[in-house]
Amino acid sequence: MHDLKEKNKASVIGGGSWGTAFAIHLASLGIETSLWIREPEVYQKARKFRENKVFLPGFIFPPKLYPSNELKEVAEYSELIFIAVPSEYCRQLYNQIAPYIGKDKIIVSLTKGIEKKSLKTMSQIMEEIFDSAVLKNLAVLSGPSFALEVIKKHPTTVVIASKNKKVAQFVQEIISSSYFRPYINNDVIGVELAGALKNVIAIAAGIVDGLGYGMNSLAAIVTRGLVEITRLGIKLGALPQTFSGLAGMGDLILTCFGKLSRNRYVGYELGKGKSIHEITSKMKMVAEGINTTWSAYNLAKKERVEMPIVEKVYEIIYENKPPQKAVMELMARKLKEEYP
Query: Beta strand 156-161 with 32-36: parallel, antiparallel or unpaired?
Result: unpaired
Annotated active-site residue in 112, 198, 282, 325: 198
d(CA 132, CA 126): 10
Say whether 272 is catalytic. Answer: no
Distances (CA, A) of 279 to 161, 267, 271, 304, 310: 33, 9, 11, 31, 19
Distance CA 175, CA 101 (A): 21
Q: Which residues are known to be catalytic?
A: 198
